[in-house]
Amino acid sequence: MGLINITKNIFTQEIAIDLGTANTLIMHRNKIIVDLPSIIAIDVRTNNVLAVGEEAKEMQGKTHKNIKIFKPLKDGVIADYQVAELMIKEFINKIPGINKKIFTPSLIMVICIPSGITEVEKRAVKDSAQHLNAKEVYLIEEPMAAAIGSGLSVTKAEGNMIIDIGGGTTECGVIALGGIVCKKSIKIAGDVFTNDIAYFLKNKYNLYIGERTAEKIKIDIGAAIEDIDDTPDDIHIQGIDLPTGKPKEMNLSYQEIIPALDKSIVRIEDAVMETLSNTPPELAADIYKTGIYMAGGGSLLRGLDIRLSKKTGLSVSLVEDPLRAVVKGTGVALKNIDKFTFLMK
């Protein structure tokens, strides 16, 4: 490493952030060093941060009046800037070498944002980054980061379609020549699937369950279609019987969950169809050849790829590392700040 590089490393640090509604990931020196739920627990009396990430997630549904759990990026928008900034600060402080007491290096950051956010929200994200000692901030839109992180060529005269199903939003984008040609972002994604399951159990069985249990059911047995290869075993669940308030337990099969998720999946199908119909014909021809790529935690729902493939008549494949594709792509962008003209300053 040359002297110039060493000085650069002391005075500035480069980080890539995927600010997801469900999970925040940070890449530093080619490594993912933060991969945690976008959740923060605050003591309302003192405003002190009690926990972030996994620890804060575990507190969910178990707090008393003095502890408040925030998901500052709920539903695909930044619901609370101050809290979001506080959370990002905690995450950045987890990076070794950045939280130096004597000397805090300034940061060069590339931050991935949902493609549906407004100019005002973009401004706010940049302001927050500047409060955190960022000297240069670049923004990258989610479909672009997901495509790059999935190893797709984004700068060629070839169309690629990527669907990123996260916690709060589903983002469909068609990418070619280093830009997003058409896109659609809807606020139906993994967290809505979770709510669908809780709602279904309440309606059908008068069973009241918490969000964490609902998410576990979704991950353990959730499916988009009946006809899947690895059918999961029934699971045993516990909740509260609504009329009596007593604890209640029951077994649940994967088949039962499918209709509960149907309405939300239809909304995702519609968004994909709309994006396809807005795709210029030359690019559509490319997509017919390569198929559609899918990323994000929500894309892991069993059989969702097959269902979307049936709906579109195209092949649909999950990218290699669906939960990390976006941060990886943001990390690649960080290394190519000069070359990637689509980064927003």
Q: How far apart are CA 194 and CA 168, in angstroms?
A: 11
307 binds, among ligand ADP, Mg ion, none (CB under 5 to 8 A by kind): none
- Does residue 20 touch Mg ion according to CB under 5 A? yes
Q: Is 53 in the site for Mg ion (CB under 5 A)?
A: no
User: Based on CB atoms, which residue is closest to ligand ADP, 212 or 248?
Assistant: 212
Q: Which of 219, 235, 242, 284 binds ligand ADP (CB under 6 A)?
A: 219
Contact 190, 167 (CB under 8 A): yes
Determine contact, residues 76/141, Cβ cutoff 8 Å: no
Q: Rule CB under 6 A: is residue 166 a binding residue for ligand ADP?
A: yes
Phi-psi region of 245 (alpha: psi -120 to 50; beta: other; left: phi over 0): left
Query: Is 329 a binder of ligand ADP (CB under 6 A)?
Result: no
Q: What sign has the CA pseudo-torsion 10, 12, 14, 19?
A: positive
Contact predicate 343/110, CB 8 Å: yes
Q: Cα separation of 151 and 128, whole Å?
A: 30
Residue 158 contacts residue 179 (beta carbons within 8 Å):
no
List 191, 207, 271, 314, residue binding ligand ADP (CB under 6 A): 191
List the structure tokens of 296.
């994000």
How many residues form the binding site for ligand ADP (CB under 6 A)? 20
Closer residue to ligand ADP (CB): 38 or 275: 38
**Residue ranges in 228-247 that form contacts with Mg ion under rule CB under 5 A:** none
φ/ψ (deg, to 5) at 75: 60, 30
Q: Could you tell me the sign of the dihedral formed by the alpha carbons of 216, 217, 221, 226, in that order?
A: negative
**Binding segment (CB under 6 A) for ligand ADP, from list 15-23, 129-137, 153-161, 243-251:** 15-23
By the rule CB under 6 A, 149 interacts with ligand ADP: no
84, 161, 300, 308: which one contacts ligand ADP (CB under 6 A)?
A: 300
Of the pair 173, 298, the CB lying nearest ligand ADP is at: 298
- Site residues, ligand ADP (CB under 6 A): 20-23, 166-168, 190-191, 194, 215, 218-219, 222, 296-298, 300-301, 323
- Site residues, Mg ion (CB under 5 A): 20, 166, 326
